Structure 1
């Protein structure tokens, strides 16, 4: 059940990230949609992280297998860095005006943050969620 819920959340996040990536090819006319999606992504990530913390990590950190504990701790540490980077990005660019007033910096950071989150989800799918099976 835990695995299914987290996998469903990942599918939703992948879809949103894909939509955001396509909007990023033409930022100026899509700035309002991009800002909305940044805020939507923040909400979905927040819910997902709460689910992982409450169900996934509590389970894995209590494993009797030391390797499972080690992998879990590494994922927690890595996510802290990604989460902070995304939160900083969100605060800088969560409105149309913020995006358009600093569009060059936005362009540099936008694809990097989307790729970082996408790569993290993919890494969880391949290396973390298999520990639940």
Structure 2
């Protein structure tokens, strides 16, 4: 059974990502809200990763089943890449001025990072949490 805290965190992340997606339709007008949400998302992701390390991966990595351990290791490696990419994005675009000063680059990267995080959450829901 999935830890209720992890499920709640996923719901909060999905909600924040949906809000961020809607703000992305008018970046210039919403740059301040987008920057705030980038910082909120970073905090929520950090807390979520800590929770997964404590409650999820420690359990899966100690599984008696080789395949479960392999899946957990693969998810950890993939998340490391996504977390690194998001952190670089956050550093580049965590203020209104940074967004507006690099608007073209932001417009390219914003949907990619939002989709990567959303896809990761979906993948966890469908392929990882079912192992519990």
- TM normalised by structure 1 equals 0.97
Q: 1:64 deviation in Å? A: 0.4
Distance 1:15 1:114 in 2: 12
> In structure 1, what is the equivalent of residue 126 of structure 2?
126
2:79 corresponds to: 79
Equivalent-residue separation in structure 2 for 1:4 and 1:128 (angstroms): 15
- Residue of structure 1 in register with 2:54 after alignment: 54
Q: What TM-score does the superposition give when structure 2 sets the normalisation length?
A: 0.98
Q: How many angstroms does 1:54 deviate by? A: 1.1
Q: Tell me the C-alpha RMSD between the 2 structures.
A: 0.9
For 1:14-93, list aligned pairs within 5 A: 14-93=14-93
Is the 8 Å Cα contact of residues 3 and 129 (structure 1) preserved in structure 2?
no
Question: Whole-Å Cα distance in 2 between the matches of residues 55 and 4 of structure 1?
Answer: 11
Deviation beyond 4 Å, 4+ runs, structure 1: none
Equivalent residues of 2:3, 2:55 under 8 A apart: no
Shift of 1:2: 5.2
Structure 1 residue 3, shift from structure 2 partner: 2.1
User: In the aligned structure 1, how far is the partner of 2:69 from the partner of 2:3?
Assistant: 17
Unaligned runs of 5+ in 1: none
| Count of paired positions | 132
Unaligned runs of 5+ in 2: none
